[in-house]
Structure 1
Amino acid sequence: MRTRIAIKIHSILERHFPERRVFLKSDNDTRFIRLHPSTQLIAFAGSALLVAWAIVATAIILMDSIGSGNFREQAKRDQRTYQARLNDLSAQRDTRADEALAAQNRFNAALKQISVMQSELLESETHRRELETGIDVIQSTLRDTMKDREIARTQLAELQGDLEEGGTGVIQTAASNAPIDFLAEALARTAKERDQVIVDAQDALLYADEMTQEIALMRDQNDAIFRQLEEAMTVSVAPLDKMFRNAGMPTESILATVKRGYSGQGGPMTPLSFTTRGEEPTPDTLRANRLLDQMDRLNLYRIAAEKAPFAKPVKNGFRFTSQFGFRRDPKTGGRRMHSGVDFAASAGTPLYATADGVVTHAGWQSGYGRLVKIKHDFGIETRYAHQSRIRVKVGQRVSRGQHIGDMGASGRVTGVHLHYEVRVGGKAVNPMIYIKAANDVF
């Protein structure tokens, strides 16, 4: 059976590849090489494979060359586009930095003015209470003096009536009791006291009018101070409230969380009270207490701002090389989700914590390279990847602006940069939401 198959195959090969002889002739001898059909088939197959391989390799090289040229052109166009956008962002950043510096200066000036105005307000209120007490004393003295004057007038009228109606008998009775000269002296002294009482009463009324005008003037001054304080607090609190709302953070729950954690430092201030007699608070007292509540709210906002990632992780010169969202993977070319933003700068550029928190990871992690994770309040976590050197340890408490590491190219990267992430409740969000929200405040 095998012999038949072999003979049949050999006959087929003979038809397509008949046996050939190749003669090799030299000066002295002639030789030939016999090429069997199987040998010719092997040679033909090898030649065909070699030609096919050459064609495929050439096609691959041409396709790669064409694709590389298109890729380079696209990369150059993308680079020019990114450069233009980065220049615009850099100009906007400089503008926002100047505005933030000016806002910070205005904020500090407003706080200083608030402190001065608060001191003036307390002093003026104390002075007003002293003046009110003085007016009460003057009015009491005036009432006593007028009462004494009425008594003196009654006594004088009785004496004059006795002199006019009593006649000689009265004179004799008076003479028997006291000399006429003594009576006249008493009458003159009473009249003098009466006149002095009238003068004192007039002076007291004039002084009361002056005190009333001074109190009205002080009230106007207090009203002006209150208005300035209220305007300053509005200017100070409104940007912070807007910053948190633009970042999508619920302000009331955040302030309540801060207040619970800072009951000794950030709790409510003690309301003003200018009386201990259980009286209803005056409108000025209520107004001052509202200002104190606003100052406490401002303090809570400042504490909360330290705990949320509103700062930039890089303070030196840098470029944004990749934004948050879907992008073309720089390694594979496929479309993938980029869960952070990339800051590119020179190797060793210092990296800073963007908010107060506790370090939960400081070491190598696949893809991220040398990675630092910081846990913040309000369920927020920040990540700083691809570092060349880590300068914090797990469990360490860090503050906003603290140096936590140096920029590098560890992990899955194409060059030196920082991959910066913000996660809320474990879900990645765009870090630029927080950075842009703070542009007009910090």
Structure 2
Amino acid sequence: MNSAFEKRLPERRLFLKSDTETRFVRLSPTTQAVALLGSASVIAWTIIASSVLFMNSIGSGSVRDQADREQYLYEARLNALSQERDSRTQDALDAQNRFSAALDQISKMQSELLALEDRRLELKTGVDVIQTTLRTAIHERDNARRETEDLNLKLAEGEAFTPSEGALEDITGTVDFLTAALDNAADERDEIVVSASTAQATIEDLEFEALLTQQRNDKIFSQLEDAVSVSLAPMDKMFRDAGLSPDRMIDQIRSGYTGQGGPLTPLTFSTKGERPDADSLRANTILRSMDDINIYRIAATKAPFALPLKSAFRFTSGFGPRWGRMHNGTDFAASYGTPIYTTGDGVVISAGWLSGFGKLVKVQHEFGIVTYYAHMSKINVSKGQRVSRGDQLGAMGSTGRSTGTHLHYEVHVGGKPVNPMKFIKAASDVF
């Protein structure tokens, strides 16, 4: 080896001189080659390590920036959906108020129509009575005229007929009375005809207004039905995507109702023993649908549809097999001490240390759902405590069997673990 390196690395001597003596160190070609190789290796390792650290730093910064951007977009989307939901709710309430006002107006108009109908019947009865009286008076007048003609004919023929003074006065009085009665009956008949014409015109105007009101009501009903359908369909899809039965959930909420929001009471109308009209049935159908929306809203707060973190985070491990074992939850990574929040209303059934989970909190929700929050650094709740969605349970840590700071989040339905992302993704288009 010395012979091979001799041409490139000739032997050298390193002299070390002191006040009393001089020494030298002999550097053979092999020694020099080893020293150069070691120095090159150290320099190369330093460059590579620095490059790796630099690239990791750049990558971490990019991931953080991306996570911040995604968090901002997610919050903006949540705010927009919340505003849209509030706007639709307000539109539904306004439409319901307009519908109630229209119903009141229709009720008043129906009362007026009934009153006018009663008045028309009274006028018709009065006309019939007057016509009967008029016919009687005309018949008596005709009889009186015939008697007068008979008397005049007898006088003209020269018959010896001389009516008494009292009979003549009776006949004259009867004729005058009948003439006055006929005049009065004619005047009353004309007045009744005018009143009947006015009443008929009023009835036609009210019927036209009722038709316009009915058309407006149909439009209001259509808008309400569309709003209810648009609001109800995403909620129904959210629960079905999460694997929950909407029908069974609604029945459970109704049976255990405690007053939150309140079920809507169907409209009742006085129908005098008759069946409800089409508008009443249609309104009650809308109210039942709005009651279902209210039930969905109550159920959505009781089921774990929210995210357990409000700060920036990244998903590090999902639900499913991992390293030959079943991973029953989803892992969220963030900085140490990041607040952890409950994802739905419920009761804390466990809060403390549990084997590989470390510091663990379990929350019992409605519909047989239990959520797990593991590897926490501290716990802020106690067993038996009732919590609402968004209440802080503790802080993120790395306790138990953990390789780094993160939250292990599980959802159990009926005692069996399910993928938490089913709930999170199902609610992403609603909340």
Scaled by the length of structure 2, what TM-score is found? 0.75
2:358 aligned residue (369, 378, 390): 369
1:252 to 239, 247, 262: 247
Q: Of residues 115, 127, 138 in structure 2, which corresponds to 1:149?
A: 127
Q: State the partner residue of 1:279.
A: 274
Q: Does 1:337 align with 2:326?
A: yes
Tell me which of 118, 121, 127 is aligned to 1:140: 118
Alignment partner, residue 305 of structure 1: 300
How many matched pairs? Answer: 366
SS at match of 1:152: helix
State the shift of 1:120 in Å: 2.2
| CA shift for structure 1 position 83 | 9.3
CA distance in 1, matches of 2:247, 2:54: 48
Q: Give the % identical residues.
A: 42
Equivalent pair of 1:174/1:180 in contact (CA under 8 Å): no
Residue in structure 2 matched with residue 105 of structure 1 by the alignment? 83
Unpaired runs of 5+ residues, structure 2, are 1-50, 153-166
Q: For residue 296 of structure 1, what is the aligned residue in structure 2?
A: 291
One-letter amino acid matched to 1:311 = A
* Separation in structure 1 between the aligned mates of residue 221 and residue 343 of structure 2, nearest angstrom: 36
Distance 1:130 1:273 in 2: 16
Q: Would you say 1:119 and 2:94 are equivalent positions?
A: no
The reply to whether residue 401 of structure 1 matches residue 382 of structure 2 is no
1:418 deviation in Å?
Answer: 1.4
In structure 2, which of residues 381, 386, 405 is the aligned counterpart of residue 416 of structure 1? 405
Once the two structures are TM-superposed, the CA of residue 81 in structure 1 deviates from its matched residue by 9.8
Shift of 1:274: 1.1
Indicate how the Cα distance of structure 1 residues 346 and 174 shifts in structure 2: closer, same or farther if over 3 A, else same. Answer: farther
Which residue number in structure 2 is paired with residue 164 of structure 1? 145
Q: CA deviation at 1:175?
A: 4.3
Separation in 2, partners of 1:199, 1:78? 99
**SS at the partner of 1:378?**
helix
C-alpha separation in 1, matches of 2:230 and 2:66: 29
Q: How far apart are the structure 1 equivalents of 2:208 and 2:322?
A: 73
Choose 295-304 or 316-325, whichever is displaced more. 316-325
Unaligned runs of 5+ in 1: 1-72, 329-334
8 Å Cα contact 1:100/1:440 also seen in 2: no
Query: Residue type matched to 2:285 in 1?
Result: R
**Superposition CA RMSD, Å:** 3.3
Q: How far 1:191 moved relative to its partner? A: 1.9
Equivalence for 1:208: 203
Q: Which amino acid aligns with 1:189?
A: N
- The answer as to whether partners of 2:342 and 2:388 remain within 8 angstroms in 1 is yes
Residues 422, 237 of structure 1: CA spacing in aligned structure 2 closer, same or farther, 3 A cutoff? same
- 1:204-261 CA distance string (max 9 Å, x none): 1111111111111111111111111101101111111011111111111111111111
Does structure 1 residue 195 correspond to structure 2 residue 194? Answer: no
The whole-number CA distance in structure 2 between the counterparts of 1:137 and 1:95 is 62
Contact 2:141/2:178 (CA < 8 Å) preserved in 1? no
In the alignment, which of 342, 348, 362 is matched to residue 359 of structure 1?
348
Q: What pairs with 1:212-231 in structure 2 (closer than 5 Å)? A: 212-231=207-226
| Number of the residue aligned with 1:9 | none
Equivalent-residue separation in structure 2 for 1:102 and 1:92 (angstroms): 15
